[in-house]
Structure 1
């Protein structure tokens, strides 16, 4: 596997060095955690490989989702200090993720794909898979899958 890093991966390495020099414990531990997740993804499967930018965003999105869910679970359990730590890590991860779509932008994008599916003769639950696939391709890391699915379902049932 070559060491010619992608832009995002190189930025993570550089930011890790900066965070370590600044003794920023949250930032450095979060970036280390992400780099470990990236390395695990690169060596999973039958052959080691370098991840594409899109695959890196997918790993970051997955890690951000874990932090969001953990913060909610800690809140529910009355563990505010642990929830805050998860939110701090989530804030670090947000620096590396593409800007998220607003609710209106997502709603508009889904509406376009629902219309396209209707034009192709698909509607209701039968169109769910078709619309989800199309929207997922256009969203690419800018909206969480659960939010996309909820909006698609909402519009198909309307």
Structure 2
């Protein structure tokens, strides 16, 4: 499957990249990409509606879009695991194919060394010393590295450094 979403934004917004990807998937008749991108658009529209209902803004920003995509990846990873445990390998593969499509629109994930360096920098920036400071550190990491790391996995690392 030719999943070629541009990794770098090159001045285009994530919404524009998704819309372009949707058009390309229609043109290429790529059913997996098309259905996954439609699911992404639906999730974005749901959040746009919720945001307008709350505060009258025009919709969610780039950071929220990254969070939506990261959440969708995590949901599919959990589903794929459940399908594998249940012996439904074809459904697990479908989930993995959707993960590939979604991840094409996320920034590059940091490796373990880069995550450790980011945690060290956040600790230094916040002056964190105890577990009470964990929220500050996680806030800095989320602001700087949205969509680039799994914060569920980073939390224990921060906690270990603070204890």
Query: TM-score, with normalisation over the residues of structure 2?
Result: 0.83
Task: Pick the aligned partner of 2:149 from 126, 130, 143.
Answer: 143
Task: Pick the aligned partner of 1:36 from 22, 38, 42.
Answer: 42
User: Aligned pair 1:104/2:143, yes or no?
Assistant: no
User: Aligned pair 1:114/2:114, yes or no?
Assistant: no
CA-atom RMSD, angstroms?
1.7
More moved, 94-103 vs 48-57? 48-57
Structure 1 residue matching 2:149: 3-state secondary structure? coil
Structure 1 residue matching 2:160: 3-state secondary structure? helix
More moved, 48-57 vs 128-137? 48-57
Q: Which protein has greater RCO, CA pairs closer than 8 Å, 6+ apart?
A: 2
| Structure 1: stretches of 5+ with no match in the other structure | 1-5
Task: Pick the aligned partner of 1:125 from 131, 134, 137.
Answer: 131
User: Aligned pair 1:61/2:75, yes or no?
Assistant: no
Runs of 4+ with >4 A deviation: none
CA distance in 2 between counterparts of 1:129 and 1:28 reads: 38
Task: Pick the aligned partner of 2:79 from 70, 77, 87.
Answer: 70
Residue 110 (structure 1) shift? 0.7
Tell me, yes or no, if the aligned pair for 2:47 and 2:59 is still in contact at 8 Å: no
| Structure 2: stretches of 5+ with no match in the other structure | 1-11
How many residues align? The count is 149
User: Aligned pair 1:90/2:96, yes or no?
Assistant: no
Residue 124 (structure 1) shift? 3.0
